[in-house]
Amino acid sequence: MFRNRCPVQQRASARHKTHSIREADRKAYTEAYSRPGRMHAGWAYFVSFQQAAKDFAQLSQTRLTMPVLTIGGEKSLGEALGQQTKLVATNATVVVLKNSGHWVMEERPKETTDALVKFL
């Protein structure tokens, strides 16, 4: 189904097959990621996962006591992100935006901003 689509377009499909993010925004992301070196830089983040897992295992031994906010999409990992945060934070606020996928700021800008302002 996604064979001929770029990764940005694939992720944009989390909420809706064609409208999760406005077409103009998808084109802008596609153009940005199509420039030389951009995909390499974007995916380099994932190279650190092995070390990050080790670091997080050690760091999670001490729970966070400060307020922590997670905002995630209902159609993406919103619930899972909240559950994970509660494992490492004693004062977690979890916001799961209905009818939203991975790109919460693009898909639900008002709700995302409202949640952040309320938290602050």
Q: Please tell me the predicted confidence (pLDDT) of residue 7.
A: 44
Q: What are phi and psi of 16, to 5 degrees?
A: -145, 140
Select the more confidently predicted residue: 20 or 31.
31
* Residue extents of the structural domains in the chain: 7-119
Percent of the chain with pLDDT over 70: 84
**What three-state secondary structure class fits 113?**
helix
Query: What tokens were used for 68?
Result: 């922590």
Name the pTM for this structure.
Answer: 0.68
78-94 tens-digit pLDDT: 999 999 999 999 999 99
**What class, spelled out in words, does domain 7-119 have in CATH?**
alpha beta
State how far the Cα of 90 lies from the Cα of 44, in Å rounded to an integer: 32
Instruction: Retrieve residue 58's tokens.
Output: 């050690």
Task: Using pLDDT thresholds of 50, 70 and 90, give the confidence band for residue 114.
Answer: very high
